[in-house]
Copies of this chain bind each other. A is one copy, B any other.
Amino acid sequence: MGMNPLIESGVNSIWTSYRDQMESVEVKLRELLTGIVPLASEMTSYIVSGGGKRLRPLLMVISSRLSDAEGPDPILLAAVVEMIHTATLLHDDVVDNADVRRGKRAAHQRWGNQSAILVGDFLYANSLWLAMGLHSHEINDSLTLACKKMSEGEILELFLDGNLDATEEQYYNVAACKTATLTASTCRLGGVLGGVSDEEKNALDSFGYFVGMAFQVADDALDYMASEEKLGKTLGRDLAEGKMTLPLIHCLSKASEPSRARIVSKIGSGLVKNGDLEEVLQLMRETGSIDYSLSRAREFTRKAQESLSCFPDSLPKQHLLSLSEFVISRET
C-alpha cells in the first residue's frame, strides 16, 4: 500500500513547519544522552538515532504551538516522551525476543538482555527526573499515570497473547494502555505548558488518545499487508506465538467452525509455515478482517479530529488534523 500523495505532501509540510523545533528536539536528545553512563548513551543513541517516526515529539511540539507555549519546555518534554517511548521499546524487545527494531538488529541482541533491561530502567528514571524538574504537578501526574498505564498494558498484552478467546474490547484496552495513554498525555502536556483552559486540555488529551488508538490499530492491520518477505519473517512469527491483534481476533470470530479450528491449530504451535500463513491471509480476505480493522482505525481518526472542535481554526490545528490521517497510512 503506497502512501496517499496528498497525505504525504501534507506530512512533509507539517515537518517543514516545525523543522527548527524538531531539530532542537534531536539536539536535546543527543545532549541528554551524552554525559550519562556510557553504555546507556551508546545503546540509546543506537536506538534513538535508528529512526522512528518521532510521532510523540511532533505531537508535543504542535500541541504546544496550538496552545501558544514557547521556549525550551516543549523541546525538553518532546525529548522526554521520546525517551520514555524508547525505554518501552528496549524492554518490549527483550520480552518479545525481537530480532529487528527500526531496520537494525535489536539492541538486546547486540548488547545482551541485561544491558537492555538496565538501560531501559535508566531511560525511564532519567526521563521522569527531567520532567519533574519543570515543577508542575499537572505534568507529573499526567506523565507518571501514563507510565503506570503503559506498564499495565504490557502485562495485559502478555495475557492476551495466545488467548484464542481474546475479544475486541480486550485488544482495545491493551492498545489504550500501551499506546494511547502516552500520546494522550503528550498532547495534554502541550496544553499544560501553554496554560490553556481545562476544556482545551481535555480536548488535546482526547485527540492524543484517539490518535494513539488509530495508530496502533492501523499498525496491527498494516502488518498483514506487508511485503511477502516481511510477512514471512514477522507475521509468521507473530502467528506462531499467538499475538492476538485485531485482524486475527476478528477473523477468528467470523470464520466458520472448521476454518477457525484449522487456524487455531496453527496459532501458538511455535512454527508457522508459509503455506499456513497464506491460508490465514486467504481466510482474512474472506472475513474482511483487514478491511474491518482499517475501518476501525479510520473511525478513531475521525474521533480524534472531532476532539479538536473546541479550538478555532489555525495552522497548528490543521497540522494535527493532517497528522491524524498520516498515522493510519504508511509506506510498506
Contacts and interface: CB of A to CB of B under 8 A. Distances in A.
A121 B37 contact: no
A118 B95 contact: yes
A95 B114 contact: yes
A36, A117, A135, A154 — which one has the most chain B CB atoms within 10 A of its CB? A117
Is chain A's interface secondary structure helix, strand, loop, or mixed overall? Answer: helix
Interface of A: 36-37, 39-40, 91, 94-95, 113-115, 117-119, 121-122, 124-126, 128-129, 132-133, 135, 137, 140-141, 144-145, 147-148, 150-152, 154-156, 158-159
B132 A147 contact: no
Given A137-B132, A137-B135, A144-B132, A155 B118 contact: yes
A121 B151 contact: yes
Contacts of A156: 37
A115 B158 contact: yes
Contacts of A150: 125
Contacts of A119: 155
Given A125-B147, A126-B151, A129-B147, 7 more contacts: A37-B152, A40-B155, A95-B113, A95-B114, A121-B124, A132-B144, A135-B137
Contact of A117 (B95, B115, B147): B95
Given A39-B159, A133-B141, A147 B128 contact: yes
Given A137-B135, A140-B132, A155 B125 contact: no
Nearest to A115: B158
